[in-house]
Structure formats: structure tokens, C-alpha cells
Amino acid sequence: MARKGLDTYLTPGKHIHLVGIGGVSMRPLGLVLRGMGMVVSGSDMNASVSTDELIAKGIDVHIGHSAENIRGADCIIRTAAAHNDNPEIAAARAQGIPVFERAQAWGLIMRAYKHAICVAGTHGKTTTTSMITHIFMQAKRDPTVMLGGYLPLLHAGHRVGNGDTVIMESCEYCDSFLNFYPTVAIINNIEADHLDYFKDLDAVKRSFRKFAGLVPQTGYVIANGDDANTRDALSDLRYVSFGLDPKNDVHPEHLSDDFRSFDVICFGKRYASVQLSVYGKHNAYNALGAAAAAYVLGVDGADVAEGLLGFTGAGRRMERKGRFNGADVYDDYAHHPGELHALIDAVKTMGYQRIVMAFQPHTYTRTKALFPDFVAELKRVDLAVLAEIYAARESNKIGISSRDLAAEVPGAVYFETLPEVAAYLRGVAKPGDIILTVGAGDIYKAGELLLQK
């Protein structure tokens, strides 16, 4: 008998169990499915603010993975980090309970919308998705939103709206965005990343090309025309290009030196005059991509201007956390050399006397594959403080440590634990400093420890 598709289970009354329910896109998925009338349960390795929220909203959450947790489930949806050796996945397979991927569920959900804006790229996904959300909320389009981070406007990382538009952050890891149904696909940039899955940069490019190919002829591919890898990946495809170069379909005029003020020109005509509340050239690119999406879907330029002005950053994206001993403390999610480069460039325009960066690399494979690039970026700050690598889904089969990075960066220091990082920062902070806690793991906790009274 042929296996039923996930669509047969996404109906009211069905029991859906989510493995890894505390994750950034699993948590909102659980809430959305419950809102659609399904019985939702889930499990996660650790208790967190996310699991507490789910429990408070009536979802049965188990801490720790066990075959007992899936009792009564009609199907399983798993996070990308949950493999077949997970006890719940193994039990489901043994019992004949179908197992689906998180991205498949989001893909099916987005098919219910006339407009599905999918934001992809090696960098800038969360920020661009957040900017588009601000614009579409300002335009009263009542969108449904799924972000890979926290957006203050929503007081969450997701939103269930009643409009005809869904705005979805779309990740290339494990080709997950190939499960989506975009009518507007945005590609911010393409670099070598997730090399534990992709063989090389060419494999990454092929994945993005397939993603762009999912857009129907009635839809739009919007891509960074200044990015050589993106141009190469989409060389056989027509798309709306954006970038700083005036040759792009969407580009700025009267661009200020700090990249925060400019007119958005769309196909030769002024569309909007924007003033950004966030810093950096990379955010000018993000805003141009967001404006291009708004333009093709008929949003008024005034709503673009108001929406972008109101965007002050997403959670863990250059997020100001407080002040210690006269030093401003910020937190950022950057975990790839390209993101570090953009972050440091932006911070250098902010007028601080000294940049102190506490950096926690994310995964052993990424650290090893991009080691020279990480070293080059860490050399650009005044003081680099290295926390140990955040393992995420990996085990250290490579034998690499943040200590190896610190050894290559003049003046850098290394600490094995986050309390040690916080104690060191407490000792060196002084007026005129900006202290950055940077990485996709739990380095933000060092900043929180620093700011504790």
C-alpha cells in the first residue's frame, strides 16, 4: 500500500508529534498546527523558554527523547537534527508511523496562500524576512510569518495572519527549502556553507538554482545582482536583480555614507525614500531585497519607507543588551566569516574606540572548512575572546578547538566555559568599548552573565 502524504494528516483532530519541538522553526510549527485544529505533542532534549511557552499554550511537551513519547501519534514531524537513530524516530519506523520533515510541513502550509515569499541566502535571511514583515504589517496585508529568530514587532518568531501572504525564512541546509512552494523567491547571496551536507560551493549553487526553479512563471525570483555566486547560479534564469550597482533592476540613489539613507529605484522609477534604523552595507542590501519583494506584490512605497524605518533589528541580530562599566554590550547571531565581515564593517561605522568580540564558532565542520577566513575576520577586531566551539548537531571527530583559532589571532584569548568568558569581559570592559557576543550557539549567555547586577 502506498504511503499517505503529509497532507492527509494535516487535518483537524489528527495527532501530530514533533521531535525537536523547541527549535526555532519547530516551535511556531507546533503552534500553527494546533491553531489549525490538530492535537500536537512534542519532545526536546532540553527544557527552555521555547518549551515553556508551548506547555503554557496547552501542548504536551516531553523533555528528553523516548519511544514512549510518540504514543497515540498519527504521524511524526522531525527537525533536521533528529536522525533515524533518535529513539522516537526509530520507534515510529518500527511501528509503521510515518515520519515527515519539518520543511515538508511548512511547504504544505504555504500552499494555502496566494503569495508565498520565501527568503533564502547564506546570510541575511532573518533580517530580510523581518524587514518584509514590517513592510507588510505596515501595509495591513495581515501576513502569516515564520522567522528563524525573534522579532519584537511580533513578540515572537512567527505570526498567523488572515491575509493572502505568507512570509517564510527559507534555509538551504539539507536542501530543506526545496520542499517549499514559493511564488516570490529571494536570494540574498550564496557562499560555501553547511559543508557537512554540501560537497562544495558548486553543490550549494545547484541547490539555490533548484530553489529558484520552484517559482512558477507567474511568480518572481528576486536575487542579488552584485553577488557573483548568485549570478553564476542563476545564469540561465530571468530574475529581478537588486544591489548597489545601478545596473540592477532595484538599486539605491543618493546613498548616504553610512548606508542608512537612500532612494529605492525600481526599473528606473523612484519607489520609496528610506531611512534605516539599522547599520551596515549588508542591511542596505537586505532592505533592497525586501523593497523589491514589496514592489512586485504591489505594496505602496510609503509603506516600505515606514516599515523599514520601524525595523530596529531582530533578536540576536545586532541586538543591544545593555551597558557595563561604560561599554555597550550587543549580541549577534553571525557564525560564518561572511557574516562576521558584514558585522565588523557595520560596527566600525558606529564610532566606538575599541571593538571587543567574544566569538563562539558554530559546529566543528564549519570551523575547520572555513578556518583561514575566520582567522582573517577575527584579526579585524581590537580584542578577540574565543569561547569553545558550539557542537550543535555534531561530535568533535575532527579534533578542532577554538584554542586553534586563538593561536592564530594576535592578542586573542581562549576560554573553555562561558562563565570564564564573562569574567574576562568584566575585567577588560571600559568606556568607549563595544562588546559583542557573537555566534549561533549560546554565547549570548556570556553577555547576560556580564550584565547581571
Residues 212-216, mean pLDDT to the nearest whole number = 98
More confident residue, 48 or 332: 332
pLDDT class for 300, splitting at 50, 70, 90? very high
C-alpha to C-alpha distance for 144 and 131, rounded to whole angstroms: 14
pLDDT tens digits for range 216-269: 999 999 999 999 999 999 999 999 999 999 999 999 999 999 999 999 999 999
DSSP 169: E
DSSP for 2-44 reads PPPPGGGTSSTT-EEEEETTTSTTHHHHHHHHHHTT-EEEEEE
Give the model's confidence band at 195: pLDDT under 50 very low, under 70 low, under 90 confident, else very high.
confident
Whole-prediction pTM value?
0.84
Cβ atoms of residues 332 and 438 within 8 Å = yes
Q: What is the mean pLDDT of residues 184-212?
A: 95
Residue 131 confidence class, pLDDT cut points 50, 70, 90: very high
Specify the pairing of strand 165-169 against strand 115-120. parallel
Considering only CA atoms, which of 134, 235, 257, 132 is closest in space to residue 182? 132
pLDDT tens digits for range 106-130: 999 999 899 999 999 999 999 999 9
**In this predicted model, which residue has the larger pLDDT, 2 or 74?**
74
Q: Looking at 51, 122, 126, 127, which residue is catalytic?
A: 126
Which residue in 88, 125, 133, 339 is the catalytic one? 125
Whether 1 shows a pLDDT value over 50: the answer reads no
pLDDT (tens digit per residue) in 83-108: 899 999 999 999 999 999 999 999 99
Q: Which residue has the cell 563562539?
A: 360
Residues 426, 54: Cα–Cα separation, whole Å? 35
pLDDT at position 3 is 55
Segment 437-450, tens digit of pLDDT: 999 999 999 999 99
DSSP code of residue 443: T
Of 299-308, 366-375, 388-397, least confident by mean pLDDT is 388-397
3 state SS of 180: coil
Q: How far apart are CA 107 and CA 146, in angstroms?
A: 12
DSSP string, 219-271: SEEEEETT-HHHHHHTTTS--EEESSSTTSSEEEES--TTS-EEEEEETTEEE
- Could you write out the DSSP letters of every residue in 375-405? HHHHTTSSEEEEEPPB-TT----S---HHHH
Active site residue 126: yes
Among 191-200, 211-220, 252-261, 418-427, the minimum mean pLDDT is found in: 191-200
* pLDDT value for 106: 93
169 is catalytic: yes
Residue-level pLDDT at 2: 43
* pLDDT for position 376: 98
Q: Which of 63-67, 108-112, 338-342 has the lowest mean pLDDT?
A: 108-112
What does the mean pLDDT of the chain come to? 95
Active-site entry in 79, 129, 165, 169 = 169
Q: Does the pLDDT value for residue 453 go beyond 90? A: no
Residue that has been written with the C-alpha cell 571527530 in this structure: 397
Exposed/middle/buried for 325, CB within 10 Å: 0-12, 13-18, 19+? Answer: middle
Name the residue type at position 433.
Answer: D
